[in-house]
Structure 1
Amino acid sequence: MISICMQMTHFSHSDLSVVEKTLQAEVENIFTWLVVNRLRLSVSKSLCMLIGSHQRTRGLNLTVMLDGDILRQVSSTKYLGVYLDQHLTWQAHVDYVLSRVRRKLFAVNQVKPASSNVLQLLYRAYILPILDYCDTVWSPSNSAGTRHLERLHSKFTSSLPSSDNFNLRSSLTERRTFHTALQVFKIVNRISPPYLHGVFSLAVDVTGRSGRNVHRA
C-alpha cells in the first residue's frame, strides 16, 4: 500500500497506522520548513491518496492533519500532467487523453481540405504529443478508452503518407513499445536520469551468461 500526500511526499507500508504516522511526521516537517522560510501552503489544494488493490484499500480512510485541518482524501489526482488513480488502472488518464484528442481532432478536421503534408504536420504538432506523453508510464492500460484512442489514431493516419522518422501509421501500441524499449536502452546505458539507474539492473540474459540480479522494489 502506498500513500501520496500533498504531491510532495510518499510512503509505502502494509499497515495503515504506520502510513499515517510516517506521513504525518513528513507533513509536519514540510509545514515547519514553509513557516521558517515564510512560505504558505494552501490546505484546500493539498490532498492525500491511498494506492493499492481494490481489496486492500476498500473502506480505508487516511487521516493526515495539516495546520489543524484534515487533508482531503481523493481517488485520483493529476501529477505532472498524468492522472494517477488509487488502483493504478490509468483509466482516469486515458479518459483525459481521449477527451483532449477528440477536441484536437475536431479542430484539425476543420482545416480540410488540406494537403496530406499539412495534415501530417498538424497531427504531429497538436495530437501526437498528447498521445505520446508519458506513455511509458501508463501504457500497461488496456481499457476500452485505450482501444478507442487506437481507433481514432488509425482512422486519421490511414490516409497520411509514411514518414522516414517514424511511420504515423504505426499503431499506438507499437509506438509505446518503441518508447519503452528506448527508455530501457537509456537506463541500461546510463544516459537516463540518474534516479532511474538504481531502480533497474541487468538480469541473466537469454544466452545463459550471468548478469546482475534484477532489483525489485
Structure 2
Amino acid sequence: MTTVVGLITDNDETAYREEVRDLAGWCQNNNLSLNVTKTKEMIVDYRKRSTEHVPILIDRAVVEQVESFKFLGVHINNKLEWSKHTKTVVKRVRQSLFTLRKLKRFGMGPEILKRFYSCNIKSILTGCITAWYGNCSAYDRKALQRVVHTAQCITGAKLPAIQDLYTRRCQRKALKIVKDPSHPSHRLLSLLPHGKRYRSAKSRTKRLLNSFHPQAIKLLNSQPQPGLRHG
C-alpha cells in the first residue's frame, strides 16, 4: 500500500498535486500500474470555512474523495475521530469472547484462558493503539473497557485495563524511537540541555495534545528510565 501525505498551506495545492504526479510518473517509469479505482483521496480540513477541493487526476481518471477509509487495519476518517474504528474493534473482540466462553465450558483452566486472551483478544485491542486511543471519546473508552471486564470475568484472572495497555505501548514505542536515531520521529523526542527531561511538544489543540508524541514525551518525563540520555 502506497500513501501520499501532503500539507496544503494558504489554499496552495501545487506541492501536493506535484507529489501525486511524481508518484504516478515513478510508477509508469518502473512499469507499475496504479489502480485508480482503488485509489482514494481523503482531505482533513478543520477550518470553519472550508473550500471545495478539485479532485485529483491520475491518467486522466478522477480519484474518488472519501470521508473515511481503512488503512493498515485502522479506520480513519477526515475528522480524525475514532468511533468507527473502536466499534469495529469491540465487534471483533466480542466474537473472540464467544470462543473464550466455549473454552471455559470445555474445562480449560485459567492459564490457558488467559493465554488465549493475550494472543487473540489483547492483540485486537492493542492493534495500532498508540495512533488512535489517545483521542477516543469517553464513550468509546468505556465500550473498550467493558469487553476487557467481560474477558476478566470469563478467565477469572486480573487483566490490565485498556488505559494501562495504551500507556505501556506508548512507553515501549517511545523508548524504541529514542534508541533509534534512524527513526523519522527520533528528532521529535529530544532532551533538554540538562539531559534529564525531554522537550515538551507545543500544542494548540486538545487533539494534538492527546496524540502519540506529546503523550509519549509526557510519559518519558514522568517515569525517566536509565539510559535514555544515550538515545
TM-score, normalising length: structure 2? 0.74
Ranges in structure 2 where 5+ consecutive residues have no aligned partner: 204-231
Q: What's the % identity of the aligned pairs?
A: 23
Matched, 1:151 2:146: yes
C-alpha change, 1:84 and 1:215, in structure 2 (3 Å) is same
Q: Aligned pairs, how many?
A: 200
CA distance in 2: counterparts of 1:212 and 1:115, whole angstroms: 45
User: 22, 34, 44: which one pairs with 2:37?
Assistant: 44
Which amino acid in 2 is paired with 1:137?
A: A
Give the structure 2 partner of residue 80 of structure 1. 72
Q: Deviation per CA, 1:108-129, whole angstroms, max 9, x where unpaired?
A: 2223323212211211111110
CA distance in 1: counterparts of 2:36 and 2:146, whole angstroms: 41
Matched, 1:96 2:88: yes
Which amino acid in 2 is paired with 1:128?
A: K
CA distance in 1: counterparts of 2:84 and 2:70, whole angstroms: 9
Contact 1:11 1:23 survives alignment (8 Å): yes
Q: Which moved more, 1:100-109 or 1:70-79?
A: 100-109
Q: Which moved more, 1:88-97 or 1:126-135?
A: 88-97
How far has the Cα of 1:159 moved from its partner? 5.6
How far has the Cα of 1:155 moved from its partner? 2.0
Q: Deviation per CA, 1:115-173, whole angstroms, max 9, x where unpaired?
A: 212211211111110111111111211242331110110121146465xxxxx522111
How far has the Cα of 1:186 moved from its partner? 2.9
Contact 1:51 1:87 survives alignment (8 Å): yes
Normalized per residue, the structure richer in strand is 1
User: Which structure 2 residues correspond to residues 179-198 of structure 1 after superposition, within 5 A?
Assistant: 179-188=169-178, 190-191=179-180, 194-198=183-187
CA distance in 2: counterparts of 1:213 and 1:157, whole angstroms: 38
Matched, 1:65 2:53: no
User: 104, 109, 121: which one pairs with 1:112?
Assistant: 104
CA distance in 1: counterparts of 2:84 and 2:37, whole angstroms: 22
CA distance in 2: counterparts of 1:210 and 1:112, whole angstroms: 49
Which amino acid in 2 is paired with 1:129?
A: S
C-alpha change, 1:10 and 1:157, in structure 2 (3 Å) is same
How far has the Cα of 1:200 moved from its partner? 2.6
Ranges in structure 1 where 5+ consecutive residues have no aligned partner: 1-5, 163-167
TM-score, normalising length: structure 1? 0.79
Normalized per residue, the structure richer in helix is 2
Q: Which runs of 4+ in 1 moved over 3 A?
A: 54-57, 59-62, 158-162, 209-217
SS of residue paired to 1:130: helix
User: 128, 131, 147: which one pairs with 1:137?
Assistant: 131
SS of residue paired to 1:194: coil
How far has the Cα of 1:178 moved from its partner? 1.8
RMSD of aligned residue pairs (Cα, Å):
2.8
Give the structure 2 partner of residue 165 of structure 1. none
